[in-house]
Structures are given as C-alpha cells and as structure tokens.
Structure 1
Amino acid sequence: MYLDDIRDYALSLDPEIDECFPFGPETFVYKTSGKIFLLMRFDDVDLRLNLKCSPEEAIELRERYPAIIPGYHMNKKHWNTLIIDGSLSQELIQTQIRQSFDLVHKKPAKTPKKASGTPKSKK
C-alpha cells in the first residue's frame, strides 16, 4: 500500500474524520471524535503508521511480524508502528487501521429503554 491508498482508506471510514498536521507537514494525523487513531509518517526509507491496538493483540502482532514494532513516541502498551515495507498485506494493514478507528471512535449513545408495561392513565 502507498500513502495515498492508506489516506483514502482512513478517510473512507467516516465522513467526519479530521486530517491534520499538528506535528509538521511530514506527519499526517487522522482523528475521530477528537482523538487520534492513525499517525502516518514517511521517513527516509519506508512509510510508517502508528495505530492503536488492544494490548494483547499488540504483543501478538509484534511477535508474528517483524515490520510491526512498539508504537514510536506512543504508549507501547496500546500503540503499534507498522513499517510499510512490502511485507504486510493490504488486508492486514486495513484491518489494523479499522480496529484502531473502532477503538477510538465514540459510539452514538444508545436510546434509553422504554419502561415495560403500558403507562397508567391519570383520572
């Protein structure tokens, strides 16, 4: 995947995603509900993504894929860095982006449950 592919995929997750550059023009930041779910930076060699992850899955992914390392400049327990060097499948990258989005995105409030039974009439 290339930068444009990842950008397009991230923006497709929700029409209200905010793309911004608070850390300078070389770092793309994607937010949902005001919180970061993806940081994307192009260094001298490879594109790198920082993505939020459950702690258990973060460790499992790092053990399984050499191109997934603890989150650079992030909480290592909850963030992974994916090095886009051609070794990770598009499906895996998109799944990780989606999961990061889902972990951060605020779900709409559930509608309150209706009281059981019929309302009593006033006499």
Structure 2
Amino acid sequence: MNKEEIIKYCLTLEDTYKDCPFPNDFESVTMKHIKNNKWFALIMNVNDKLYINVKTNPDYSDILRNTYDYIIPAYHMNKEHWNTIIVDEKVDKTLVKELIEQSYQLTK
C-alpha cells in the first residue's frame, strides 16, 4: 500500500475528507469526519517510511502490538487508544483497511 491508496480508501468511508493539519508539513495528512471534524487516521512520511495512526479499542491494542511487529504504540498520540501501523512490504492490506474502518467507527 502507498499513501495515495490509503487516502483513497479512507475517502470511500462515508462523510470523510483529507486535511493537512500541520503548517509547513504537506506530507502528513489527517483523515477526518465531515460532521465532527475528528481524526480517524493520521498518515505520515517520516524518514522515508510511511506510517498510519489509527484509533483502536484499548483491549485490542496490546493484542495487535504483540501479534504484528509492524503495529506499535502510537507516534505522538495517546498510546492506550491509538496505534501506529508501519506500512511496508509485509503489512497485511486487509488488516490495515479493517483497522482504518474500526478507527472510523470509534471516532464517529
């Protein structure tokens, strides 16, 4: 998956939009709900690596982190409720979409 594919998928979810929340940083984007403006995904390029922050159920966060080495506590966010997905060649695309969908539902 690349950044454009992730953004495109996020925009298939109902009433969503892309935002660039950080001044002078047009590489990082948030995917937000139109109705409440809450983030459900933060997509970042850091040191030539692609990351996605998604909200997860706290009971599920540790399971994800212990099962997948590409899922870690969230970068610069509440680590109890948010995880970072390191998007590389071994990432499970179906799982990424499921986690984005879960984050979307949790932030409605």
State TM-score, norm by structure 1: 0.81
CA root-mean-square deviation:
0.9
Where does residue 60 of structure 1 map in the other structure? Answer: 63
Radius of gyration: which is bigger?
A: 1
Q: Which runs of 5+ in 1 are unaligned?
A: 106-123
Where does residue 26 of structure 1 map in the other structure? Answer: 27
Where in structure 2 are the equivalents of 1:8-47 lying within 5 Å? 8-14=8-14, 16-23=15-22, 24-32=25-33, 33-47=36-50
Q: 4+ residue runs of structure 1 moved beyond 3 angstroms? A: none
Where does residue 121 of structure 1 map in the other structure? Answer: none
Q: Which runs of 5+ in 2 are unaligned?
A: none
Aligned residues: 104
Equivalent residue for 2:52, pick from 46, 49, 53: 49
Q: Which amino acid aligns with 1:25?
A: F
Where does residue 4 of structure 1 map in the other structure? Answer: 4
